[in-house]
Amino acid sequence: MDISAVNALSYEDFVNIFGNVVEKCPLITAAVWTSRPFINLNALEATIDEFIDALPESGKEGILRCHPDLAGRDLHSGTLTRESREEQARAGMDALSSAEASRVARLNEEYKRRFGFPFVICARTTDKTRILRELSERCQNAREAEMARGIEEVKKICRLRLQGLVLSDAPNKL
């Protein structure tokens, strides 16, 4: 799908296709439809980023709270969104040793208790070892820094999900 096809979508098709580029926040996708046409994928991405940036702090926390734990309950019970499942699997989070799984569960709980939102990381641009290290290190950060960092990761995840949807057909057009 190229950007002109994206711009031609009804809001219903737009939300069906792009509704989960920010995890479980179709409201954001549905909101940015107002700004079409987009001159390219970067413009669509920038509109999403600007919408997120303009939310009050509670709204940004709300976005983070819509994300599942890494290697958490949703992964084990099969209730992750398709996108999250693929991203967590690619980073090896579905194949932790029992010691690693216990450590991740303990650190996830510590992180959530400390900040009131979950640890969010763009799993597709990293791997299991670095995720475990970051989870441990980021638990020590100040709350404000972690909010900003979490939102930065949300935007990275969003960019890769958008690229997967908008550019995946590109080779057919060459």
> Hey, what amino acid is at 100?
E
Q: Residue 153 and residue 151: Cα distance in Å, rounded?
A: 5
Concerning whether 76 is annotated as a catalytic residue, the answer is no
Instruction: Give burial (CB, 10 Å; 0-12/13-18/19+) of 50.
Output: exposed
Which of 6, 18, 21, 33 is the binder for a copy of itself (CB under 8 A)?
Answer: 33
What is the CA angle 106-116-132, rounded to 5?
Answer: 35
Binding mask 65-94 for a copy of itself (x = CB under 8 A): xx----------------------------
117 counts as binding a copy of itself under rule CB under 8 A: yes
Active-site option among 67, 138, 159, 161: 67
54 counts as binding a copy of itself under rule CB under 8 A: yes
Binding mask 133-152 for a copy of itself (x = CB under 8 A): --------------------
State the CB neighbour count (10 A cutoff) for residue 99.
8
Q: What is the DSSP letter of 37?
A: P
Site residues for a copy of itself per CB under 8 A = 10-12, 15, 24-35, 51, 54-59, 61-66, 112, 116-117
